[in-house]
Structure 1
Amino acid sequence: MQTSIPLNNGSISHSNEAEVNKISTEAAAFISLPPNIQTALKQKNRIVFIANNPSISVAQLEDLLQPDDVLVLFNHFIHADFFANHPLVSTLPKLLFFRQIGDSKLHFGLPPRSNNVSVIKRMAKAAPLGILLSNQPYQFPAPDDDPSPNDDPITADRILTIPLAVQALLESDMHHSVLSEQHPVVADYPSFKDIHSSAPSSGFLLYRLLLAARAHLQDIQQAELPLQLLMLGFNDNAKTAHFWQGHNWEFERREMHSPPQEVEIIRQY
């Protein structure tokens, strides 16, 4: 059974308000994605989430990735040059997610924090590229806007401004969307009230979002099975660190321990 949320649309006539004033959470998840990624998902068979897990090797990625994959990468993602340069992998559609840092102007993975923006330019030339930012559009922050600069000290080779080609992507309705960390797909998430900005982890938020989006896609395509999801390097036990205490790791790992149909999780440490 699909759940629903209000849809604010001034063009809707009052006569049909009862029928069209709500859309399903699944549909809301799908339309939260950049339109070019929506198109890619309609044409591909598998979504591959790649965690920023240092145990993931390039050789492993070469063995796993297939021509009908859509890739999901996070923040200052690993193996950036591989994703931009590999003969097959460079041609795969990619969704890049960048998380807001607390309630600041900054996002992880974008200037002035450590970033792969020079690689993103190459990625966009080779395949459909969607950018999803949490909570707010890119604010073009300066280093002085960083609330915790000691967490990621600036080095001499750091790119501190967005190149024009990447700025164009961030200003494109086709390539860019903003995703609230309070999206209905995580309405049941038990955040910690005593921790500022407590919210789902990036991986869990996108996992829930794309689970719902694929359910919508299965419905509109009347497919027998949903798109496959492959989660690479995501773990569900205490062998890996919990990182930030504002994520409810116990809740997330409990759910990830028993994935639904057509979801494969490759756990590694």
Structure 2
Amino acid sequence: MMRNTLQNLLYNSNYDQSDPSTAAFDTLPIIIQKALLQQQRIVLIANNPSIDTASLEALLQPTDMLVLFNDFIHADFFAHHPSAKDLPKLLFFRKIGDSLLHFGMPPRSNNLTAMLDMAKHAPFGILFGNTDYQFPLPSDDPRPNDDPITASRVLEIPELLNELLHSDEHCRVLSEQDSVVADYPIFADIHSSAPTSGFLLYRLLLAARLHVQQRQNAATPLSIVMLGFNNDDKTAHFWDGHNWAFERQELATPPNSVEIIRQY
């Protein structure tokens, strides 16, 4: 299979890698840029319910950086477990269509309490899809029945997190049309068709790690582990606006030093 546009650019030895890799690196929050230069492996963890904490404990290493998505799984584990709490963490929250909302942030289901603890223990960065967090009210949710608010739902941003959300060091915006997914076939007839959160971050970090390799003068780029990202149609898919066939095809033949751990 022919490599996609991004891989052709990044892995062609005759191509000047500094532009796409540096642009991807510069998209990251500053605190995560610094952390990447110190770590040895990037671990992206899908919101796959078959992933248990025992497998996470066995997988994680002290030199990892973690990437979590939206209303991510096992929040207490990542915030408090000895094998995870001290690891740098990058969180991505996808924007919900044309609304003011992002998945994983109030008024939708969220892990704000765990996020607050994460920020106290280790380098902590956030990427918001398409726009900064808009601090929406429950009345701004166009489809409140999709995720009804319960009495235990955290709706107010704690002061420390509020400071981080206004800090360029900790928080940045990533467009779903970023150049790292320029080859992604969206569906023109589906509003807000875009890559999945996991695939978008995979592509961004695939590029950014080459900048890290140059900065470190390393023989090989940082390794990437993707846990729970499946390359077939056995997993239930929830939205037709993601091009699942394209993503499965891309992840079926990952580049060197990228390991994909299927989980069912």
Which TM class, normalised by the smaller chain length? over 0.9
Counterpart Cα distance in 2 of 1:252 and 1:222: 31
- Which of these residues, 148, 161, 185, is aligned with residue 153 of structure 1? 148
Structure 2 unmatched ranges of 5 or more: 1-7, 11-17
- Which of these residues, 221, 231, 235, is aligned with residue 240 of structure 1? 235
Q: What is aligned with 1:216?
A: 211
Counterpart Cα distance in 1 of 2:100 and 2:162: 16
The answer to whether 1:256 aligns with 2:257 is no
Counterpart Cα distance in 1 of 2:99 and 2:160: 24
Counterpart Cα distance in 2 of 1:127 and 1:163: 18
1:82 aligned counterpart, secondary structure: helix
TM-superposed CA distance for 1:160, in Å, is 1.1
Counterpart Cα distance in 2 of 1:139 and 1:214: 30
- Which of these residues, 77, 86, 99, is aligned with residue 91 of structure 1? 86
Counterpart Cα distance in 2 of 1:165 and 1:216: 31
Bigger relative CO (Cα 8 Å, ≥ 6 apart): 2
Counterpart Cα distance in 2 of 1:237 and 1:2: 26
TM-superposed CA distance for 1:198, in Å, is 0.4
TM-superposed CA distance for 1:24, in Å, is 1.2
5 Å-filtered alignment, 1:160-199, equals 160-199=155-194
The answer to whether 1:73 aligns with 2:39 is no
Percent of pairs with identical residues: 66
- Which of these residues, 223, 229, 237, is aligned with residue 224 of structure 2? 229
Counterpart Cα distance in 1 of 2:9 and 2:253: 21
Q: What is aligned with 1:8?
A: none
TM-superposed CA distance for 1:2, in Å, is 4.4
Could you tell me the TM-score, scaled by structure 1's length? Answer: 0.91
Q: What is aligned with 2:197?
A: 202
Q: What is aligned with 1:119?
A: 114
Counterpart Cα distance in 1 of 2:68 and 2:46: 7
Q: What is aligned with 1:105?
A: 100
The answer to whether 1:133 aligns with 2:123 is no
2:85 aligned counterpart, secondary structure: helix
> What amino acid is aligned across from residue 239 of structure 1 in structure 2?
K
Contact kept, 8 Å, 1:230 with 1:263, in 2: the verdict is yes
> What amino acid is aligned across from residue 144 of structure 1 in structure 2?
S
Counterpart Cα distance in 1 of 2:151 and 2:144: 15
Aligned length: 250
Counterpart Cα distance in 2 of 1:179 and 1:54: 26
Structure 1 unmatched ranges of 5 or more: 4-22
Counterpart Cα distance in 2 of 1:52 and 1:116: 13
CA deviation profile, 1:60-105 (whole Å, cap 9, x unmatched) = 1110000000000000010001111112310000001001001110
The answer to whether 1:28 aligns with 2:23 is yes
CA deviation profile, 1:148-171 (whole Å, cap 9, x unmatched) = 111101111101121111111101
TM-superposed CA distance for 1:219, in Å, is 2.4
> What amino acid is aligned across from residue 217 of structure 1 in structure 2?
V
- Which of these residues, 27, 38, 41, is aligned with residue 46 of structure 1? 41
CA deviation profile, 1:232-253 (whole Å, cap 9, x unmatched) = 0000101012221000000011
Deviation >4 Å, runs of 4+:
none
TM-superposed CA distance for 1:222, in Å, is 2.3
> What amino acid is aligned across from residue 258 of structure 1 in structure 2?
T
Contact kept, 8 Å, 1:2 with 1:24, in 2: the verdict is no
Counterpart Cα distance in 1 of 2:9 and 2:202: 17
Q: Larger Rg: 1 or 2?
A: 1
Contact kept, 8 Å, 1:134 with 1:180, in 2: the verdict is yes
